[in-house]
Amino acid sequence: MPKVLISDKLSPAAVEIFRARGLETDFKPGLSAEELLDIVADYDGLAIRSATKVTKEVLAKAKNLKVVGRAGIGVDNVDTAAATSAGVVVMNTPFGNAITTAEHAIAMMFALARQIPAADRSTQDGKWEKSKFMGVELTGKRLGLIGCGNIGAIVAERARGLKMRVAAYDPYLSDDRAAQLGVTKVELDELFAEADIITLHTPLTDATRNIIDAGAIQKMKAGVRIINCARGGLVDEVALRGALETGHVAGAAFDVFVEEPAKENVLFGAPNFIATPHLGASTTEAQEKVALQVAEQMSDYLLTGAVTNAVNMPSVTAEEAPLLKPYMKLAENLGAFTGQVIGSAIKSVAIEFEGQAAEINPAPVVAAALSGLLKPTLASVNMVSAPVEAQARGIAVTTIKHDRPCDYQTMLRVTVETGERTRSMAGTLFAGTLPRLVDVQGIAIEAEFGDHMLYVRNYDKPGFIGSLGSALGDAGVNIATFHLGRREEGGEAVALVEVDSAVGEDLLAKVKALPNVARVDALKF
């Protein structure tokens, strides 16, 4: 049974779900990086929030790991590229904490507008400084959103309810969506020039790092207020400190910092600066939602192969998973067959879907075909890593669906080109689940994929079967199944022989030397 480690403070709901689904579960929130390195090899699944750093080193140790589940949105604490190369699915829960985080941004906006934290401290210190804490009204003010995805859109809706005028800078926001949200789409400089309050809701990327820097602050209205409940690093902290000191920025409220946990920070103690310790997602409701969701998603993947909300793999629904599994196996076998006989660098791969196969979700099947194809040349590749490995090698991948009469109820074909030669294999599913090879290089054949096989290209001449049988028998290799196909009588032919043990180089050379044999390969599936 798969084993899961929860290494961050997830709601106990996650433990309950994992255990109810029959997974062995260890709940160890607050593990140090060293402790994680020591034990991670034992687990098939790792459930985290933002504290655990899933680095290259962790992934290198995690020999059994199949899935990292982030109970939350941002996966910047996971080395997703390294996870993909290691064949580990990374999934998140993109919606469960969005409302809660948007509410935190709104709370920060009120806290800034009315200086609530400072007023609270002063009042409880017995000062009653009524005139010191003059606030600003939010009604009618311009709110500038940088990023208008899930959370930004919720902030926009709430802010419109507060009678604010809302503008958004988000290159990926469509005009229709902006109109639906009642938000004015603006360019970044326009937002900087017009906004009374700016709130950030983008991921941290190369394009968004320091999107608010000293130059940007210069372009802002004097008296602007800035809220960051998205990611540390979106705002240049040193530049902001300077602007808070001069009063050009009238206040800032941050939930996230360049270095976390932020025990020290250049912004701490600056005038009108409010800080919370990455609390955006921390409500009972949100934590229950993300914990439940991540535990269900991870259990589904580990137990059924269903993939939901993965950031590095196409989705496979729970309903699709049982239907797609045999197709993925067939595609992997067809890919593995071609990969083992191709012999030189691959330029392109086409995966064709015919009959009932033309109706299925092709992406996971293509990933499985690529995984089989690349396995003979790459030490460890699976359907998570195969598409990026193919891309990295400049292999062009095409998916073709045919809507035409087909000899079989369902059929997949994998065709690989190297520039010098083309290899093409097709297969079907017997009884909807059993992979069968039905075509090798245009020659009809009907064969199962066995663990050890001999693939012989020969000429259709009398005596071939006998001499091949004797060569194998003399070497003590038992034949399990024997399948033949030929292009025409006396012409090019194919023999696929399933054997009970691996065929060594000596025996391969003997078979190759038999009369009428053109080539022979030992295949493994």
Ligand X SMILES: NC(=O)C1=CN([C@@H]2O[C@H](COP(=O)(O)OP(=O)(O)OC[C@H]3O[C@@H](n4cnc5c(N)ncnc54)[C@H](O)[C@@H]3O)[C@@H](O)[C@H]2O)C=CC1
- Residues with a catalytic annotation lie at 231, 260, 278
Closest CA to 521 of 89, 79, 505: 505
Give me 57's structure tokens.
């080193």
Q: Which run of H or E residues covers position 51?
A: none
Q: Are 387 and 370 in contact (CB under 8 A)?
A: yes
Question: 239-298: which residues touch ligand HPV (CB under 6 A)?
Answer: 278, 280-282
Q: What's the min distance (Å) between Cβ of 253 and ligand HPV?
A: 16
Region 384-403 residues binding ligand HPV, contact defined as CB under 6 A: none
Site for ligand X in 75-104 (CB under 6 A): 97-98, 101
Closer CB to ligand HPV, 272 or 283, in the complex? 283
Q: Which of 141, 158, 201, 413 binds ligand X (CB under 6 A)?
A: 201
CA distance linking residue 251 with residue 109, whole number of Å = 10
| Token couple for 122 | 């002063």
Backbone angles phi, psi at 30, to 5 degrees: 80, 20
Nearer of residues 52 and 458 to ligand X, judged by Cβ: 52
Instruction: Please enumerate in sequence order all residues whose Cβ is within 8 A of that of 302, keeping only pairs 6 or more positions apart, or say none.
Output: 2, 4, 23, 44, 45, 66, 67
**Residue 330, number of CB atoms within 10 A of its CB:** 29
170 binds ligand X (CB under 6 A): yes
Whether the CB-CB separation of 387 and 395 falls below 8 Å is answered with: no
- The helix/strand/coil state of 428 is strand
Among positions 264-293, residues that touch ligand X (CB under 6 A) are 278, 280-281
- C-beta of 113 vs 286, nearer to ligand HPV: 286
Q: Distances in Å between the alpha carbon of 63 and those of 38, 58, 375, 440?
A: 12, 10, 17, 36
Query: Which does residue 355 bind out of ligand HPV, ligand X, none, counting CB within 5 to 8 angstroms by kind?
Result: none
Site for ligand X in 479-508 (CB under 6 A): none
Distance in Å, CB of 98 to ligand HPV, minimum: 9
- Please report how close the Cβ of residue 300 comes to ligand HPV at its closest, in angstroms: 20
According to the binding rule CB under 6 A, does residue 201 interact with ligand HPV?
no
- Euclidean distance between CA atoms 264 and 267, whole angstroms: 9
Residues in 215-234 at the binding interface with ligand X, rule: CB under 6 A: 229-231
Figure out which of the listed residues 45, 69, 72, 87 binds ligand HPV, where binding follows CB under 6 A.
72
Q: Specify the 3-state DSSP secondary structure of 173.
A: coil
Residue nearest to ligand HPV (CB): 72
Task: Using CB under 6 A, pick the residue from 79, 255, 320, 460 that binds ligand X.
Answer: 255
Under rule CB under 6 A, residue 45 binds ligand HPV: no
Report the C-alpha gap between 358 and 2 in whole angstroms. 33
- Write b or e for each residue in 61-84: b if 16 or more Cβ atoms lie within 10 A of its Cβ, otherwise e: ebeebbbbbbbbbbbbbbbeebbb
Candidates 5, 17, 73, 154; binder of ligand HPV (CB under 6 A) is: 73
Give the binding-site size for ligand HPV (rule: CB under 6 A).
Answer: 10
Task: Compare residues 5 and 138 and give the one whose CB is closer to ligand HPV.
Answer: 5
Q: Decide whether 103 or 354 has the Cβ nearer to ligand X.
A: 103
Binding residues (CB under 6 A) for ligand X: these are: 72-74, 97-98, 101, 146-152, 169-172, 201-203, 205, 207-208, 229-231, 255-256, 278, 280-281
Binding residues (CB under 6 A) for ligand HPV: these are: 49-50, 72-74, 97, 278, 280-282
